[in-house]
Structure 1
Amino acid sequence: MTQKQLPLWAKDYLQYIQVPAREPSYSYLKEISTAHLNQIPFENISTLLHYKAYHEERKLVEDEKKFVKQLFQHHMGGTCYMLNSSLHQLLKQLGFHSRYTFLGGGHVALLVRLPGEKEELYVDIGNGAPFFEPIRLETDPGNVSEYGGIEVRLRPGDEFGTYKYYRYVDGTLLTDMDWSFDTKKSYQFDDFQPAIQKYFQPNGAFTSVLRCQIWQLSQKRSLSLVNNVLSIRYRNRKVEKQTLKDRFEVRNVIEEEFKLPKLPVEKAIGILEGMGVNIFQEQKEDEAD
């Protein structure tokens, strides 16, 4: 695989995550996953900015070109639908075999196969979890994806080809993420439209709150902003929290800590206020999904 063989959007995508074009391999897939989680945020700011447009069009489509354009123009990432669908398109351009899987009726992830191999690898850069390397579901049933007290374990279900997703924060299982998935089922992006419609409903998990999360492995930490609460979780499991008083402080954190100066966070806060949500009111503390 050479850079010249790729479409412009794929070249720009790799440039943004600072990864060169290489031949498909496990190590290359790990490199892409790690770089993605460190360069591109999991956030719903883009969701809020597209909220009105979605309700006019009533459909969300795969659009890797728009995704890459928004990376450079606005430092936007997204949630699972845009993050994993765009990575899906990139991986296919790079020579991987990639297809969708669907967890818990609402979360989209990827099953990726290397050339010449039969086993599919679980890849997921779309829910703020430490999936820095692909998961071998069949040959590594005891897998643990862990960082700083956040753990995700994918365990075989009762039927062949089925798995369950377990997420722990500091040893506590998150019961609201009780997800299962069936690797025998195949999906097209349009199969997710009913779930996407629920995702864009008013007062939903991503339409009534402000979220932004990113990993910074070079600094041995991850950052999570939920409304006006910034959580800094370190590799040694230490967690620091800071309550932000106003938009200026939110903007400062996005620029100075997240290093995402183009992210239009003020617009997202204004949209939430238009829907009756004041992110500076006292909120229940939460971890980014």
Structure 2
Amino acid sequence: MWVLEYLRLLNVEQKQPSLPFLKKLMKRHRLVFPFENVSKLLIDQYKKKQIITVEEFLDRRKNYDMGGTCYTLNIQFARLLRELGYVVSYIRPGNEHLALLVGLADSQKVWYVDVGTTAPILAPLPLGIERQTPIFAGEKVHLRKGEEPHTFTYVRTIGGRQVSKKWAFRSDQRYTLEDLMQPIQQSFLENGPYMSCIRIDKWCEYKQRMLSLKNTVLTMRGGGSKTERSIKSLEEMKAVLQDTFHLPKLPVLEAVEQLEARGHLLIKKSANIQS
């Protein structure tokens, strides 16, 4: 059964549904399954008319160190949570992102859950009250309750400055997988947000920091600080994936080659590197 394999990859023992267990699952998921668009560029474009199975998702992680973007990561996590006994619904903040509302069968409380984000959301956020994630290297995510019932706005800030678009959503507007097929297919258009770049984000539990690679810029947040470093070559990019992200099998060089073939030149390739 894939549930046991999923939990094995997360290094988590199965327990009864609870908020503490949900927190643990979420944090482990952010550690094990990276937010990355390499799989979107290399594989998913050929399967954009169907959602991959859980077994395919797990095999990609084991064989290629892949995770996915918001659709893949949150859909697969939702499947796991349902099998474990949680009540899960899909929501679309800003009508462009996918996140989850998760509850317990014997409770009316609902939490905002997102394992498919580049933001440092490492625990569920309760709905119904003004709530924000703990400050992480100056970064916060706020869920602001609207004036009308069931309305909320997702706001991401760094140092008190808004750094991305506000995403409005309704907690009573739920989506099915069938509803998601059209936006998933649209995300593969040439002007899609992750179709012309390299983006890899991962939680590093050992050093308590968030890692982010945006094309040739490596950003590390943690301990109340942020450092940036420019990647100068494909050799260095490959080393960063292996030594910093601990994703040695992620085929990022093949993704760079595909982007270059489509006219998106990210970095000058050295003659002696093989992909």
**TM-score, length of structure 2 as denominator length:** 0.93
Structure 2 letter corresponding to 1:154: L
Contact 2:121–2:133 (Cα < 8 Å) also in 1: no
Out of 23, 32, 43, the residue aligned to residue 36 of structure 2 is 43
Deviation by residue 1:237-259 (Cα, 9 ceiling, x = unmatched): x2221111121111000000000
- Secondary structure of 2:206's counterpart equals helix
How far is the alpha carbon of 1:113 from its aligned partner?
0.8
- 1:3-152 matched pairs, under 5 angstroms: 7=1, 9-50=2-43, 52-54=45-47, 58-138=48-128, 140-152=129-141
- 1:178 maps to which of 160, 166, 172: 166
Task: Confirm or deny: 8 A CA contact 2:120 2:210 kept in the other structure.
Answer: no
Deviates more, 1:22-31 or 1:269-278: 269-278
Contact persistence 1:145–1:153 (CA under 8 A)? no
**Is residue 239 of structure 2 the alignment partner of residue 249 of structure 1?**
no
Which residue of structure 2 lines up, in the alignment, with residue 191 of structure 1? Answer: 179
Q: How does 1:153-172 map to 2 (within 5 A)?
A: 153-172=142-161
What SS does the corresponding residue of 1:37 show, helix, strand or coil?
helix
- 8 Å contact kept, 1:231–1:239: yes
How far apart are residue 118 of structure 1 and its match?
Answer: 0.8
Residue 285 of structure 1: aligned partner: none
Using the TM superposition, name which of 193-202 and 20-29 deviates more.
193-202
CA–CA distance in structure 1, aligned partners of residues 227 and 190 of structure 2: 31
AA matched with 1:218: Y
Any unmatched runs of 5+ in structure 2? 269-275
Unaligned 5+ segments in structure 1 are 1-6, 282-289
* Code of the aligned partner of 1:137: L
Instruction: Please list the CA deviations of residues 202-254 of structure 1 after superposition, one character each: whole Å capped at 9, or x if unmatched.
Output: 13220000000111132021110000111111222x22211111211110000
Residue 257 of structure 2 is aligned to residue 270 of structure 1 = yes
What is the CA-CA distance between 1:32 and the residue it aligns to? 0.4
CA distance in 2 between partners of 1:62 and 1:118 (Å): 31
Aligned residues: 268
TM-score when normalising by structure 1 = 0.88
SS in 2 for 1:273: helix
Contact kept? 1:130, 1:145, Cα under 8 Å = no
3-state SS, counterpart of residue 227 of structure 2: strand
The separation in 2 between residues aligned to 1:97 and 1:121, in whole angstroms, is 10
- RMSD between aligned alpha carbons? 1.5
Match of 2:254, SS state, is helix
C-alpha separation in 1, matches of 2:52 and 2:251: 22
Query: Matches of 1:203 and 1:169 in 2, distance apart?
Result: 27
C-alpha distance 87-52 of structure 1, shift in aligned 2 (>3 A) = closer
CA distance in 2, matches of 1:30, 1:244: 34
Moved over 3 A (4+): none
Matched with 1:3 is none
Of 196-205 and 108-117, deviating more is 196-205
